[in-house]
Structure 1
Amino acid sequence: MELLLVSYLAGTKTITANYLSKLSSKTITFIPTAGNVEPYTGFIDEGIAMLKDLGYQLHLLDISKFEEPVLVQELERATCVCISGGNTFYLLQELKKKHLTELLARRIREGMFYIGESAGAIITAPGIEYNQIMDDKTLAPALTDYTALNVFDHSVLPHIGEYPFETSSRETLERYRNSLKLIPLNNHEAVLVNDRGYTILRETDPERKAL
Structure 2
Amino acid sequence: MDDRAPTCDWFFDIVSPFAYLQWKTRARLAGRIRLRPVPILFGAILGHWQQKGPAEIAPKRLHTYRYCQWRADTLGVPFRFPPGHPFNPVSALRLVVALGAGDAAVDALFDAAFGEGRDVSDMTELAAIGHRFGIADVEVEIARPDIKQRLRANTDAALARGVFGVPTIDVAGTLFWGEDATDMLIAYLDDPDLFDTPEMRRIAALPVAATRPTKPA
| Structure showing greater Rg | 2
TM-score by length of 1: 0.30
From the two aligned structures, give the one with the greater helix fraction.
Answer: 2
From the two aligned structures, give the one with the greater strand fraction.
Answer: 1
